[in-house]
Every structure is written in structure tokens, then in C-alpha cells.
Amino acid sequence: MGKIIDCKQISLKIKSEVIEEVQKVKQDNNITPTVVSILVGNDYGSIYYHNMQDKTARELGINFIKANFDKNVTEEELLSCIRKYNDDKLIHGIMVLLPFPGNINKKKVLNAINPNKDIDCLTDICMGRLFKSDKIFYPCTANSVATIIDSLGIELEGKEAVIIGRSNIVGKPTAMMMLDRNTTVTLCHSRTRNLEGIASRADILISAIGKPKYINSNFIKKGAVVIDVGTSSLNGKITGDVDFDDVIDKVSYISTVPGGVGTLTTALLFKNLCEAVKKCI
């Protein structure tokens, strides 16, 4: 039977490191790391995430500023808000929560963020530098996947990693981070032929397609590491892409949903904030 990866323990270790960094920068430079989170409208998921970020930030000793706008906000009002915080030397990180109302040009707004304050790695500049292995910050979900895999202490060089899902938020940046670890990467998507056959070659299988329990034991190579990034609602419960009960006897390690990748993302976001502070000193 495969081992369940203790992602909560990994998250606690990251948070402990962040607390130390926050305390050090306060003591040495009289600076309190400060982040602004911009929320538009009343999307339930965004509000929940907004509040969870706030709670975690305060636990870590970080100043968290909420900039809330109603759904009728104009694009120019958002851009003006971002420009203000770009110019404010006491603000070290800027986050913009998605989704936006349809009247807002998402790409224009996100690219208005100063790349040195883009701790969520949403701007074209930060993403482009990641693809050149010249990162400013790592995207938090992709970094969560890589951090979980690193925590296992297994040899990665030359291993075959298959990623299912090619989004700009998860699939593509995860592929780049796995390439940086010298794995051989295959990036699959909805139009990939023989997906089951390709996945079953993988030493490391990462799924981020948002189809509940889609990945069964036929997709799994014996002894594979499986990282489940998918989150869907099934019968009122949050469910991952992987049919856990069907694959557990075939994997070596597996992350769960919930309790897996998502437990690390906020901690890693604030680790990025600490890196942003260093750029200001």
C-alpha cells in the first residue's frame, strides 16, 4: 500500500521558516512584510480564500491589507489602485484575486502589477522569467507540487514526469519546474491521444484537470508518485482527480484532496512575500 504524503507537516515547516524570516527582517531592518490583496465582487470562493489569507498572514506576523471593490468597479479604478500600491514602498506584495467581472481586461490589470511585487507570479514578466529558469517568484500551486515532490527525497534526475493539464496557473509552470529538476516531462491535455497509456509510463504523475476520480489504477505505473492537484465537488464533497481507493495499492506515494497541494499554497505565497521584502532592502 502506498504512503499518504503528510502535506500538513510540510506546510507547518514552511510556515515556521516564514515566521523566522519575518522576525529577522523586523529585527534587522524595522520592516514588517506587508501585502495587499485586491478582491472584486462577491465570488464565494474568492472571499473565502481572501479571509483565509488574512488569517494566515496574521498568524505569521505579516500585515495584510484588503482592497475590496464591488462588481461594478471600472478597469481604470483597478489600475489606479495597483499603481498606488506599486509606488508605495511600504507595500511589498500585491495579489489580485480572480475571477473578474466580464468588463475588466484581466491581462491588462494583472500585468499592471510591479513584477517585484507579483508574489502570485501572474504577470507575463514573472511567468516568462520562470520559463527561462530565471525566476522572480514561483507560482504557488506549481511550487506546492514541486515542494511536495522534493520532500520525498527521491532521485528525480532522468525520471519520467507526466502532467495532465496545461493551464498557465498549474500545468505549464509545473512542467518547467520539473524540467529544472532534470526529469523528462510530458505535458498532456484534453486532446491528448492515449492519455491512459502515456500516464501509465510515469514515475511521477501530476493531475490537474478538475475531473473527479477520473484517474484510476489503469493510469498508474506500479510504484509511481501521484500528486493530485484537482479539486471538484462530488456529492457535496471536495474531490480530487484521482480515485484514491482504486490507486492506493499501486502507488508509492500519493497526495490527497483535500489535505494535499492546497495546504501549502498560502504558506508558499507568504514565502514569496519574504523574498519580495529582500528586494526592497
- SS3 letters across the chain: CCEECCHHHHHHHHHHHHHHHHHHHHHHHCCCCEEEEEEECCCHHHHHHHHHHHHHHHHHCCEEEEEEECCCCCHHHHHHHHHHHHHCCCCCEEEECCCCCCCCCHHHHHCCCCHHHCCCCCCHHHHHHHHCCCCCCCCHHHHHHHHHHHHCCCCCCCCEEEEECCCCCCHHHHHHHHHCCCCEEEEECCCCCCHHHHHCCCCEEEECCCCCCCECHHHCCCCCEEEECCCEEECCEEECCECHHHHCCCCCEECCCCCCCHHHHHHHHHHHHHHHHHHHC
Known binder of ligand: residue 165? yes
166 in a labelled binding site:
yes
To the question of whether residue 167 is assigned a binding role by annotation, the answer is: yes
Strand 34-40 vs strand 3-4: parallel, antiparallel, or unpaired? unpaired
Nearest to 272 by CA among 62, 86, 132: 62
What is the distance between the alpha carbons of residues 248 and 216, in angstroms, rounded to a whole number? 10
CA 14 to CA 31: how far, in whole Å? 20
**Letter for the amino acid at 86?**
N
Answer yes or no: is 41 a known binding residue. Answer: no
Q: Find how far residue 70's CA is from the centre of its chain.
A: 26
Where is the binding site for NADP(+), in residues?
Answer: 165-167, 231
Where is the binding site, in residues?
Answer: 165-167, 231
